[in-house]
Amino acid sequence: MNKINVLVVDDSAFMRKIITDLLNSHPRIHVVDTARNGKDALKKIDELNPDVVTLDVEMPIMDGIAALKRIMAEKPRPVIMLSSLTKEGAEKTLESIALGAVDFIAKPSGSISLDIREKEVEIKSKVLQSVNANVARLCENDKKPEKTVVSTFTQHAISSIKKTNQIVGIGTSTGGPRALQRVVTQLPRDFPAPIVIVQHMPAGFTHSLAKRLDHMSQITVKEAEDNEVLKNGIAYIAPGGYQMQVEHSGRGVISRVTQGNPRNGHQPSVDVLFESLATLSSYQVYTVLMTGMGADGANGLILLKNKKSNTVAISESKETCVVYGMPRAAEKTKLIDFVVELPEISNVLIKQMKARGVNNGNQ
């Protein structure tokens, strides 16, 4: 199997050395060179044509955001951003994802992270997975600063849906912020169900993601809180570093946000969320699995379909996934009802809600 050639870009000589050593210790990865800023990186991409670029966000002369714009416009390829855990770092990271970065790694302790070795497994895994990313999909610029106008079809369909007990669960990982933007922004303000979302992200980043999506969407988007009553027309994103479940209470369906154990390395985990949806006996459940590495969500879907056979399961098609991992694992269960390209997911979801009407699932 051919080696994956990587260009490491960071203004810190220490970080360049450590990241290079970490990556070169894997038999399939070879660091072809390093660069100290975005301008230097562009020159070396021209010369060396690396398969993957790791790109620091904060650098002098040309920062990571400016370099990323040029890379995706001129020499598109998988780019993994390295960013700080600050609020500003989170916002710039989400901007970079919108501009075409395949994924990101949060530096544990600032620009020069002496403890970056803690991220060794994550760094290697993301380089190995990103080489197969759908670069054409990454080149599509999904950045939309203003609220999206919801289609007339959607508004009409929503108005005809019976007001029954319904809930939507969405799971995604790599490429997820862009995919969520395409789906959530197409839902109307009076969407007749709460939406619970697991996006694989570390603590500190999901709050910025919720704010960004809320700004663009007709519905309200927020980071979920523990013991919160779930309301129609609101999307709740599981906080990074916490598991999110839902359960019945005397006040209605509520969220449970707890710092439990990771499931298959994930916290939040789609499996954990989907398993909790199976406990909502009087609710019609709809699930959506979108782009992402790994198989999170597949086991949860099996349990959910076993307990609530009328659950409607949608997966994103290979053609539009940035990484066709989670949807593929779900499709292998033979329990997916609809395989749909990303731009059509919101329409298919609404059509299914309309078709089921009062059949709200007491199974």
pLDDT in tens, 158-169: 655 656 799 999
Indicate which residue of 10, 56, 271, 296 is catalytic: 296
At residue 142, the pLDDT reads 55
Q: What is the pLDDT of residues 196-246, one digit of tens each?
A: 999 999 888 999 999 999 999 999 999 999 999 999 999 999 999 999 999
Q: What is the CATH number of domain 4-133?
A: 3.40.50.2300
Reported confidence tier of residue 33, pLDDT bands at 50, 70, 90: very high
The C-alpha atoms of residue 309 and residue 301 are separated, in whole angstroms, by 10
CATH 3.40.50.300 fits 152-356, yes or no: no
Angle between helices 13-24 and 120-130 (to 10 degrees): 70
Q: Assess whether 276 carries a catalytic annotation.
A: no
Catalytically annotated residue among 113, 200, 214, 346 = 200
Q: How far apart are CA 213 and CA 24, in angstroms?
A: 37
Residue spans of the domains in the chain: they are 4-133, 152-356
- Could you tell me the two tokens for 5? 């050639």
DSSP 319: T
Kindly name the residue from 173, 208, 276, 346 that is annotated as catalytic. Answer: 173
Q: ∠127-131-132 over CA atoms, to 5°?
A: 130
Closest CA to 222 of 272, 279, 184, 175: 184
DSSP-assigned letters across all residues of 256-290: EEE----BTTBSS-HHHHHHHHTT-TT-EEEEEE-
Q: 337 catalytic, yes or no?
A: no
Q: Is the pLDDT of residue 61 over 60?
A: yes
The residue type of 20 is T
> CA separation (Å) from 215 to 137, 220, 326, 343?
23, 9, 27, 19
Annotated active-site residue 296? The verdict is yes
Q: Is it the case that residue 357 has pLDDT exceeding 70? A: no
In whole angstroms, what separates CA 50 from the centre of its chain?
Answer: 25
Measured CA to CA, the distance from residue 1 to residue 263 in angstroms comes to 30
What is the pTM assigned to this prediction? 0.90
Same-fold call for 4-133 versus 152-356: yes
107: pLDDT confidence band, cut at 50, 70 and 90?
confident
CA 195 to chain centre: 15
What pLDDT does residue 304 have? 98
Alpha carbon distance 121, 85 (integer Å): 18
